[in-house]
Structure 1
Amino acid sequence: MYKPKFYAAAAILLLAALLSACSTGSKQREPERPNIIFIMSDDHAEAAVSAYSDKLIHTPNLDRIGKEGMIFRNCFVTNSLCSPSRATILTGQYSYRTGARDNSFSMQLNPGITTFPMLLRQAGYQTALVGKWHLRTKPEGFDYSSILNDQGQYYNPDFITGADTARVHGYVTNIIMDKAIGWLSAQRDDSKPFCLMIHNKAPHRNWLPDSADLDAFEKDLPLPESLYDDYTGRGRAAHEQMMNIGKNLHLLSDLKVNAASKGPKGNWLIGEFNRMDSAQRNRLIRFYMSRDAAVDTVKMTPRERIAWRYQRYIKDYLRCIRAVDRNVGRLLAYLKEKGLMDNTLIVYTSDQGFYLGEHGWFDKRFMYEESLHTPLMMRYPPLIKAGSVSDAPVMNLDLPETFLDLAKVQIPDSMQGASLKPLLAGKTPDNWRKGIYYHYYEYPGWHAVKRHFGIRTQRYKLIHFYYDVDEWELYDLEKDPHEMLNVYKDPAYSAVKDTLTQELYRLQHQYGDSYELAEKILQHDKTMFNRYKNIY
C-alpha cells in the first residue's frame, strides 16, 4: 500500500543527510578521541627531509605525512639538546622547570612532574614507548615501554623492557619499528584509544648506517654555502666552539677511517664493532676500507680536506635517515592494512635540528637557525586538510597541549605552550605568539658552546651569551638568512635592538625565567662541574 507520509519523511531524512555531507565536503567527522602515534628521530635536520628541501635526500614516506596533512615551516625548540628537548615534549615546560637542562648533570625529570602520557593514561588511553628515552629517570605513565640504554647502539642494541635488559640482534632503527608494530598487533587493547611514542636513535652521532644503505649516496653532495665560515664579526661563542667538521670530527669513530684498526680504548666505533657478529662487522669494514683506498688526504689542500670530511660525514648521516624513512613506510602500510589511518594523529618530528656543515659545523646547541628549527609534520584527516602548510611560529613546547586538547583531556596549568589544534584546522588565532624564547645551559660541556638565551621573531634574532662571556648578537634574518653578520652594534639597528630587548625580558617574565634564576642555576652547575670536571 502506498504510504505518502512515510516516504515523505524518508525523503526529508535523505535530503538532510545529503546536505550535511555537502556542507562538510570531504572532511571526515572528527572522532571523540583520536589515537596518537608520535615518531621522533634524534638530530634530524629540516634540510634532510625532502618535504622541506630536496637538495640532499628523498624521504617519500616522511613526506607523505606532510603531504596528507600539515607541514610546519617554523617549528622551534626551547633548548637544542637531546635530554632537555625530550623533557619539554613530555611536560610542556621549559628546561629550568623540568629539571632536565643538559645532557650532563641535569638529565632527569623533577620528581612528581606531570607528563602528557600520564594524563592520557588516566583518561583511558593505552600508552606505550619504544626506542630512545635518554632521561635518567625511568619512564612513567606508560602501560608498556622498551627503551634503549642511555644513547643506545646502532647494532645489536640493549633494550630495557620493564625490569629486564636484553640484547636484540639487528639494526636499531629496524628493531624499534619491529617493537612498535609488534605492540600494535599483539598488545594493543582495541577497546581503548592509544598513544604510541616511537623514538629513533638515528641519525645521532656516530652515524652508523644499516648495511642495506651503505651503497647509497655514491656521488658527492653540494657543499653548504657557509662550510668555510671563519666567524668574522662574531664573538667568542662562535670562535671557541668544538663542533667543527675540520677540527673536531674523529677520523675513526665518526668518519670510520681505517675502520679495520683496533683503535684506542673506549673508541665509539670499536665499541660498536665489538657488539657485532662477524658478518655485520666485516661488511662495514670492507665498505669503509674501500672508501679509504679511493682518496689520498695527504695531498689535499686544507679546504679540500674539510670538503672531504664533510662528504664522509654527511653521507653516513643521510644513510641513517634512509632507514628511518623506510621504517616509517612500514608503519604507514601497517596502519592502512588495519584501518587505523583515518582515526590516528600521526606526528613526525626531531628532538631538535642539526648542523649539516653550515658554519663548518656538526651537532646542535646554538640558537642559530639550523639547530633552532626542527621538522614537524602532522597527519589527521578528520581535522587537517591534506597539503596544508603553517608558517606560524610553533614550538616543541606546544606538543603535549595539542595531544591533550585533541584527546579532550584538561590541560594542566603547569604547561607553558599552546595547543596547535586551531592551526591544524587552518586557523591561526590573532593573538598567536609573534616570537619564541630560547635558553641553552650546557657549558662547560661537550662541544664548548657558551650558555645563551634569546628571542627569535619573524625577521630578527637577538642572542645573549653568558657564563665566561657577556656578548650580544643580533641578526636580520630577512637580509642575512645564514646569520653571517652580527648587527648588534650597528646604529641602524638601534631601535630594533631596543624593541627586541624589551620583548626578550617580557618573554622571560611570561615563562618565569630571569637573569637571577640563570645566575642561581649557573652557580649550582659550576659546583657540579668542579666535582666532575675530569670527564670533560
Structure 2
Amino acid sequence: MATGASLLPVRARAQTPMNVLVLIADDMRADLMGVAGNKLVRTPNLDRLARAGLYFPDAFVTTSVCPTSRASIMLGEYASRHKNIDFGTPLAANQWETSYHGRLKAQGYRTGYIGKWGLGGPLPSGFDVFDGFAGPGKYIEAGRKHLTAHLADRALEFITDQRDPYCLTVGFWAPHAEPGPDPAPAEERFRALYRDADLTPARTFSGTYNDDLPDSLKEAHSASLFADQLATPERYRAFLAGYLGLITGMDDAIGRILSAVDLDNTLVIFLSDNGFFLGEHGLPGKWLAFEESIRIPLIVKAPGVTGVSNELALNIDVAPTIYGALGLRHRRDGHDLLRNRRDHFFYEYALATFGAAGIRTRDKKFVIMPEHEFEMAFDLKADPFEQNNLAQENPDWVALLREKVVARYGDTLLAD
C-alpha cells in the first residue's frame, strides 16, 4: 500500500480536533473522473483532490442500492448487520448514536447533514444542522438555484458560520436520474460541454451480452425506471450529456466547498453510494453485481497522506477511517482505509427482486441469486467486461468461492 509511511501525520493531528467532511455522490460510477483515466468527463476539482490525497481506484460498495449503501457508509457495517435493506427503513435511534455522526457529536463535534438522506423517514433529529430530504430530489425548482449549487451554498454556510470542530456530510443528488422527459437536467453551462461530444455507447451496450441473464432480471425494477434512457441512440446520447453535465456541476460545487475548508486540519472523504449502468450488458440502473454497478469513486484527503492505493476499499470503510484519524475505536465490519488490508469482500442484496449474495476477490467474482436460480462467475483478469459467465463450467475456483458464500449466508441472503 502506498501510505504506510504517511500515517503518523494524521495520528499526530488527532490530538487537535480535526474537522470531518464527507461528500457523497449518488449513482456515480468509478470511471467518470479524469483521475480515473477518463478523457471526456471534466472533473478538475476531484482530480485535484485525488492528487493531493489518497485515491482508491479499486473501491466498491457491498450493496449497490442507495439506502442500504448509505447506512453502510454511516455505520461501517454490512447490510447483514445493520438490516437497513429497503427504501423505507430509517436508522434506529441506537444506530444514529453509533453512526459516525452520532459518535462525533458525543465527542463534542458540531454535526451537519445537507442534501439527500436516502434512509426514509422520519428524518433524523440528532444533528445540530439538518437540511436534507428523505428520498428523491428535484434538480430544478422555481425560485431556487439548481439543486447541486444550492447544496453547495448550504454547505458553505455551515462551514463558515460555526466553530471547529465540525462533522459535515453533503449528500448530493447528482448525478442520479429523475423521472420525466429530461432525466438528467444539468445546468446548461455544464450540459453544453458534452452535447457535441463523441458519446459512444458502451462496449456491451447491445448484442448478446445479457442473453444468459434470466428474463426476470432483465425486466425487473431497473428496466421500468431507467430503460427509456437507452431506448434509442439519440436518447442515450442526450441522457449521457446530461448525466456527465451533472457530474461536472457537482465537481464545480465541490470545488466551491473545498475553497472554504482548512485542508490542513480536515479529513475529506469523497465517494458515491453505488455505481451505475450506462447500457453495459444491455442494462440500465444499478442493483446487479456487475463491475459498473458496484465500483465507486473514492478519495481520502487527510493531512500528510498522499498517493494511490491498490488495496480493495469499500463503502463500509468510511466510518472506520474517520474513527482511525481521530483516535477512536471501531470493532465492526469495515477497515481504516489508511491501514487497509483485504483480499476479498462480500456482496449482498436482500431485496427479492435482485436478491443476491456473492464474493469478489482481486481478480475473481462469484454471485448467487436464489430467487432467480441463477449464478454468475467471472475471471476478471481474463474477462474484465464480464462477458463470459463461468458458473456452469465450474472450475475449481468457482467451487471454492461458492463454498465461501454458502458458508457465510447459508440458505438465506443475509446472515443472522
For normalisation by structure 2, the TM-score amounts to: 0.89
Shift of 1:234: 4.0
- Change over 3 Å in CA distance of 1:65–1:248 after alignment to 2: closer
Cross-structure match for 2:172: 200
Question: For 1:433, which of 334, 342, 365 is the aligned residue?
Answer: 342
Residues 276-355 of structure 1: matches in 2 within 5 Å?
306-335=232-261, 340-355=262-277
Match of 1:221 in 2: 199
Aligned 8 A contact 1:91 1:115 in 2: yes
| Alpha-carbon distance in 1 for matches of 2:136, 2:37 | 28
Corresponding residue to 2:144 among 149, 169, 180: 169
Aligned to 2:181: none
Residue in 1 that maps onto 2:63: 79
Pairwise CA distance, 1:94? 1.9
Q: Deviations over 1:87-121 (max 9, x none)?
A: 11111122233232022xx4322342221111111
The Cα shift of 1:497 comes to: 1.5
Which portions of structure 1, spanning 4 or more consecutive aligned residues, are displaced by more than 6 angstroms?
Answer: 26-29
* Deviations 1:96-152, CA, capped at 9 Å, x for gaps: 33232022xx43223422211111111122211111101124225421111125212
Asked if structure 1 preserves the Cα contact closer than 8 Å seen for 2:58 and 2:311, the reply is yes
* Aligned mates of 1:94, 1:249 — CA distance in 2: 29
Q: Secondary structure at the match of 2:63?
A: coil
* Pairing of 1:346-365 with structure 2 (within 5 A): 346-365=268-287
Within a 5 Å distance, the mapping from 1:33-182 to structure 2 comes to 33-103=17-87, 106-113=88-95, 114-137=98-121, 138-156=123-141, 169-182=144-157
Matched, 1:465 2:382: no
Unaligned runs of 5+ in 2: 179-183
**Counterpart contact for 1:50–1:59, Cα < 8 Å:** yes
Letter matched to residue 378 of structure 1: V
CA contact (8 A) 2:30 2:57 kept: no
Structure 2 distance, partners of 1:29, 1:407, is 7
Distance 2:413 2:291 in 1: 26
Q: Secondary structure of the residue that 1:202 maps to in structure 2?
A: coil
Q: Is the 8 A contact 2:346 2:357 kept in 1?
A: yes
Change (3 A) 1:309 1:156: closer
Contact 2:369 2:375 in 1 (8 A): yes
Taking the TM superposition and a 5 Å limit, the aligned residue runs for 1:377-456 are 377-382=299-304, 384-385=305-306, 388-411=307-330, 413=331, 415-423=332-340, 432-444=341-353, 450-456=354-360
Whole-Å Cα distance in 2 between the matches of residues 76 and 34 of structure 1?
26
Equivalent position amino acid for 1:404 in 2: Y
Work out which structure has the larger RCO, using CA pairs closer than 8 Å and 6 or more positions apart in sequence: 2
Runs of at least 5 residues in structure 1 that lack an aligned partner in the other structure: 1-22, 158-167, 256-304, 424-431, 445-449, 521-536
Task: Write the letter of the residue equivalent to 2:300.
Answer: M
Q: CA RMSD in A?
A: 2.6
> Could you report, residue by residue, the CA deviation over 1:253-307 in whole angstroms, capped at 9, with x for unpaired residues?
x69xxxxxxxxxxxxxxxxxxxxxxxxxxxxxxxxxxxxxxxxxxxxxxxxx632
Structure 2 vs 1, CA of residues 121 and 248 (structure 1 numbering), >3 Å: closer, same or farther?
A: closer
Higher deviation after alignment, 94-103 or 124-133: 94-103
Residue deviations 1:328-356, cap 9 Å, x none? 11122222xxxx11111111111111112
Alpha-carbon offset, residue 316 of structure 1: 0.8
CA offsets, 1:166-190, max 9 Å, x none? xx6121001101000011111x224
CA shift, 1:156, in A, is 2.6
**Whole-angstrom distance in 1 between the partners of 2:156 and 2:222:** 36
Which structure has the larger Rg?
Answer: 1
Match of 2:384 in 1: 481
Instruction: Answer yes or no: is the 8 Å Cα contact 1:46–1:53 preserved in 2.
Output: no
Aligned length: 399
2:350 and 2:413 in contact (8 A); partners too: no
Percent identity, please: 27
Flag the 1:516–1:235 CA change in 2: closer, same or farther, 3 A: closer
- Secondary structure of the 2:352 match is coil
